[in-house]
Amino acid sequence: MDELVGISASPGIAIGTAFLYLDDNPTVPRYSVDDIGRESDRFHRAIAKARAEIEALKARQNSTHTPEHLQFLDSHLLMLGDADFTASVEKKLSAEKQNVEWVLFSTMQELISKLSAAEDSYLRERTADIHDVSKRVLGHLMFRERISLADLTQEVILVGHDLLPSDAVGMNKHMVKGIALDAGGRTSHTAILARSFEIPAVLGLSDVTRHASLGDQIIVDGNRGKVLLRPTEKTRKRYLLVQREWRKREVRLMGLNELPAETRDGKLIMLKANIEVPEEVDSIAAHGADGIGLYRSEFLFLTPGAVPTEEEQYQAYRYVLESVDRKPVTIRTLDVGGDKVFSQLESSRERNPILGWRAVRFCLANTDIFHTQLRALLRASVHGNLRIMFPMISGIEEVNQVLESLQTVKDDLRREGVTFRDDIPVGIMIEVPSAAITSDILAKKSDFFSIGTNDLIQYTIAVDRGNEKIAYLYEPFHPGVLRLLKMIIDNAHAMGISAGMCGEMAGDPLATLILLGLGLDEFSMSASGIPEVKRIIRSVSMSEAEEVVGEVLEMKSFVEIDRFVQELMEKRFDVQVY
């Protein structure tokens, strides 16, 4: 039996037979050509065929998917129609006088290499779109037919190096019971669709395709991020029991959907969902969320093609607002810059992009992009319960500047006679230590706080959580982190505003009791994590949570706090510690 460890992309347990999806890249020929016009004609004919193929795929899938699930296909069509893209291929074709297959292939490889070097994981994963489009066009140039997952007739565990977006959306999801891939991460198209379809998935396994064979028995443990190949009969039987218990647990937790996240002594807590793309909206109601606590709007800017127009953004925001039945939706303004490279966004390579030109810093330096987004948000505000949030605020000066920008856009819309809500709550993310320490000042200009623990912990302890050598230092229960959290929440309450959290810590059941005792008003997390956090909140009183926090804040070491919390949560609330 082989056990592989990867990234838990979609929870659940899947047991079945491996189906190897190895749609390998063809060997692309390279040779000199004299007739450039003929090669150009071949290229444009292949583009036209690829466009027709995508349109047909959209038409077939519209009956089973929402338009938002198919949005990436629109980005593929945009890419095929992008004048800059076709011009770059034409220019290289004329300069190198090589066959168009090779010119297209080399152009795409250069672009993929450039994006793969970016530190932003979301941007790296967008290379799948480029790969998908180029492969489709190359297929028509080289007369190759694509393998389809839509024709699966038996239940399988899908094993592959990566899954192209069109393959993921087109697959027979009733027959794909689990997914195990060498590549990918939590923000990849495959991960998003797997969560949407509730298919257990483990990605980033590196070499599962090297170890697995067609027909192998395989177990995908999406809860722990593990894949077991050719398990022993004893292991298989154990996992069948685990799978049965997991399903029973899911059914029990779903029974809490209609109940409020209320402590035993009557304290009501808001539990909301984080989303990255509109495709995830369906999971909001399915898991009993009280709304959306973080919508990462930058997904619109991370697809191939031009920067989204005001109208494109407006339609996306409107769709999300209308889809959650007047529940609150917090949309974070654009969080890009620094190392993030886009075709229409001017950026520069920085030595330390994490501390560089990003988020509000980027937006305040690019007011045309920033104001366009604010216009789209304000226009969409009439369609639901919108809240606007600004990321990576480091001091009051930035708060004043973004509020001035918002007011400028409001004045422009009024002059134009455009309708919008004037009472939209405006808040900030607290993810920089300077913002935490001056949160008493910032609270005077904010309608709410949302704590971004991913960055706050990283900046507070000075640890790059992506560096495996010091990953052990990335510790949410560090006394310094807990003291900052208490300061932020207390300062928010002193000014009469709410304090929420949208970082990964909010969705960690081990942290629920601590955050509750610290006075957190709102937890925002992946929708699938909501039922478990709700269960804990409903089974405890505020006085018990506050008593635990009192003990924890007296402790001197995160090792001591970790041990205490894990033992308490496992014993008192049956929270599994892995």
Q: What is the CATH number of the domain that holds 84?
A: 1.10.274.10
Residue with tokens 């949030």: 389
CATH, residue 269: 3.20.20.60
Q: Provide the token pair at 121.
A: 């994981």
Would residue 147 count as lying in a domain?
no
Count of CA atoms in the C-beta half-sphere (13 A) of 116: 13
- What CATH number is attached to the domain comprising 196? 3.50.30.10
Q: In whole angstroms, give the CA distance from residue 55 to residue 493.
A: 52
- Residue 31 resides in a domain: no
213, 288: one domain: no
Does 495 lie in the same domain as 376?
yes
For residue 342, the model assigns a pLDDT of: 45
pTM over 0.85: no
Last residue of a domain, one of 107, 141, 175: 141
Q: Taking 60 as the threshold, does the pLDDT of residue 21 lie above it?
A: yes
pLDDT tens column, 49-59: 888 878 877 77
Burial of 538 (0-12, 13-18, 19+ CB in 10 A): middle
Which residues are annotated as catalytic? 189, 502
- Percentage of residues in the chain with pLDDT exceeding 70? 85
Q: What is the pLDDT of residues 228-259, one digit of tens each?
A: 999 999 999 999 999 999 888 888 888 898 89
CA distance 369 to 357: 15
Please check whether residue 89 lies inside any domain of the structure.
Answer: yes
Contact by Cβ (8 Å): 510, 575? yes
Beta strand segments in 167-300, E? 176-181, 201-203, 217-221, 226-229, 261-262, 268-275, 292-296
Q: Which of 141, 176, 207 is the last residue of a domain?
A: 141
Tally of residues, the chain: 578
Any domain includes 300: yes
Reply yes or no on whether the pLDDT at 320 is more than 50: yes
User: Predicted confidence band at 412 (pLDDT cuts at 50, 70, 90)?
Assistant: very high
What integer pLDDT is reported at residue 24 of this predicted model?
Answer: 55
Structure-token match 């939706």, residue found: 329
- Alpha-carbon distance of 521 to 538, in angstroms, equals 14
**Alpha-carbon distance values, 89 to 102, 114, 120 (Å):** 10, 17, 27
The closest alpha carbon to 485, from 418, 530, 552, belongs to 552
Q: Quick check: helix, strand or coil at residue 161?
A: coil
Q: Please tell me the distance from the alpha carbon of residue 16 to that of residue 3, in angstroms, as a whole number.
A: 15
pLDDT computed for residue 483 by the predictor = 98
Count of the separate structural domains present in the chain: 3
CA dist., res. 373 & res. 119, Å (int): 24
Residue found under tokens 């076709």:
86
Domain residue limits at 401: 255-573
Checking DSSP bridges between strand 426-430 and strand 385-390, what pairing results, if any?
A: parallel
Check whether residue 439 and residue 339 sit in a common domain.
Answer: yes
Instruction: Let me know if residue 519 belongs to a domain.
Output: yes
Domain-embedded: residue 307: yes
- CB contact at 8 A, 389 and 331: yes
Which 8-state DSSP code applies to residue 308? Answer: P
Find, among 157, 200, 205, 285, the residue nearest to 7 by Cα: 205
Lookup: tokens for 31? 């040779």
136 and 208 share one domain = no
270 and 383 in a single domain? The answer is yes
Q: Are residues 336 and 457 in the same domain?
A: yes
Identify the pLDDT of residue 126.
63
**pLDDT tens profile 520-532:** 999 998 888 899 9
Residue 304 lies in a domain: yes
Same domain, 62 and 6: no
Which residues is 91 bridged to in the sheet? Answer: none
pLDDT classification of 128: cutoffs 50, 70, 90: low
CA distance 166 to 77: 12
Residues 159 and 133 in one domain: no
Share of the chain above pLDDT 90, in %: 48
Closest alpha carbon to 269 in 556, 528, 518: 518
In this structure, what token pair is assigned to residue 55? 């349109």
What integer best gives the mean pLDDT of the chain?
A: 85
Residues 490 and 538 in one domain: yes
Looking at the fold, whether 247 and 189 belong to one and the same domain comes out as: yes
The distance from CA 385 to its chain's CA centroid, rounded to whole angstroms, is 22
Q: How far is CA 127 from the centre of its chain?
A: 15
Is the pLDDT score of 419 beyond 80? yes
Q: Across residues 110-117, what is the average pLDDT? A: 72
**Interior CA angle at 75 toward 42 and 281, to 5°?**
155
On whether residue 27 sits in a domain, the answer given is no
Q: Which of 223, 252, 281 is the last residue of a domain?
A: 252
Give the single-character DSSP code of 150: T
Residues 191 and 297 in one domain: no
| Residue range 457-478, pLDDT digits in tens | 989 999 875 554 665 778 999 9
Residue 122 and residue 118: Cα distance in Å, rounded?
9
Please indicate, yes or no, whether residues 204 and 349 belong to a single structural domain of this protein: no
User: Which amino acid, residue 282?
Assistant: D
Mean per-residue pLDDT for 124-147? 69
Q: How far apart are CA 70 and CA 279, in angstroms?
A: 9
At 145, list the tokens. Answer: 């037919």
